[in-house]
Amino acid sequence: MKSIEMFKYGDLIKNLVSRDFKTRYKRSYLGILWSLLNPLFMIVVYTLAFDYIMKIRVKNFPMFFMCGFLPWSYFSSAVMVSLSSFSDSGYLIKAVSFPREIIPLSIVFSALLHFLITFVFVFPLLIFYGYLPQGAYLILPVIVLLQTLFIFGLGLFFSSIHVYFRDLRYILDVILMAWFWLTPIAYPMSLIPGEYLFFYKLNPMTLFVTAYREVLLNGVLLMPKFWMAILLVTAGSLILGYLPFLRIRKRLAEEI
């Protein structure tokens, strides 16, 4: 019922996202260009380190890395910014009534917008490296949507807990760093010893990163089993997020 109500607040979400978006670039000279250059720069650095120096045997490392890194950036930046979103929006929560999950949701949407913008160079680069557009690309919006829901769930989880534990940022920093290296972003799954492979597959981000790669690099539609797993982790994340959120929702205005 609550989530149906949220559609009435589409305008509010739109305004919050555009506020976030506009204010982020208003005062920087490079503006939106920076959010394109930053991931490109990262791709160059990781290519140098992993492809040229450490010589990880992956075909077209820059593209391989890009397809994992961009979804990862979307995930990690959205969760990181959501974290203190309730705590930082005290003035809003205390002054007007609206479904409170809109606050982390609009942050996730804002990060999504940044993610989508990067596709401006993703597709040309793919073509440049010889990956021509495939029919499988049509499934991309579904993957993006599911990943967005997955991120929203975690964002809701962390932002709800952050209301009580303001030092969560340091812990989340460590978690995200570990998570990054435990997800096959800068290296392929094939390097992982067989006995640990099962644990790797438990990592939801492995699923998403693999999904993007399969579609963008191989033009492969994923197996139903894979989709089931993605749906499962997405649902799990939403449940994980709503559990603490529903507990504090009513008292949010007082606890902040």
Partner 1 sequence: MIEIINVSKKFRIWEDRSRDLKETTINFLRGKKRSFRDLWALQGINLKIKEGETVAFIGENGSGKSTLLKLLAGVYVPDEGKIATQGKISSLLELGVGFHPDLTGEENIYLNGAMLGFDSDDMRERFGEIVSFAEIGDFIYSPIRTYSSGMLMRLGFSVAMCVDPGILLIDEVLAVGDEAFQKKCLKRLEEFKSAGKTIIIVSHALDLIRKFCERVILLQDGKVIIDGAADRTIDKYHAILSNKERPGDLDEIVEIEKANYAQRVSKISMSEEKGESKKIKEKEEIEEIEEKEEREEKGEDEGKVPQKPKYERYGTFEAEIVDVVLKSEKGEETNMFNSGERMSVCLKIRFHRDVEDPIIGFYIRKYEGSQPLDIYGTNTRWKNIELGSFGKGEEIEVKFLQTIPIPKGTYYIVVAIANSDETRFYDWHENIKTFTIKNEDRLWTGIINLTSQILISRCS
Residues in contact with partner 1 by the rule CB under 8 A: 11-12, 14-16, 19, 22-23, 26-27, 91-98, 164-168, 171, 250-251, 253-254
Closest CA to 106 of 129, 82, 88, 128: 82
- Tokens encoding 217: 């690099």
Of the pair 23, 190, the CB lying nearest partner 1 is at: 23
Cβ–Cβ under 8 Å, residues 51 and 126: no
Q: 3-class SS at 40?
A: helix
* 180 contact partners, CB below 8 Å, separation of at least 6: 72, 76
Q: How many residues does the chain have?
A: 256
Of the pair 15, 218, the CB lying nearest partner 1 is at: 15
Of the pair 176, 192, the CB lying nearest partner 1 is at: 176
Residues 74, 10: Cα–Cα separation, whole Å: 22
Question: DSSP character for 50?
Answer: I
Cβ–Cβ under 8 Å, residues 243 and 160: no
Residues 251, 256: Cα–Cα separation, whole Å: 9
Residues 254, 76: Cα–Cα separation, whole Å: 29
Of the pair 34, 137, the CB lying nearest partner 1 is at: 34
Please state the φ and ψ torsions of residue 183, each to the nearest 5 degrees. -105, 135
- Tokens encoding 35: 């959010």
Closest separation between CB of residue 252 and partner 1, Å?
Answer: 9
Which run of H or E residues covers position 123?
helix 102-128
Cβ–Cβ under 8 Å, residues 106 and 89: no
Of the pair 106, 147, the CB lying nearest partner 1 is at: 106
Of the pair 27, 225, the CB lying nearest partner 1 is at: 27
Of the pair 66, 81, the CB lying nearest partner 1 is at: 81
- Tokens encoding 172: 């989340």
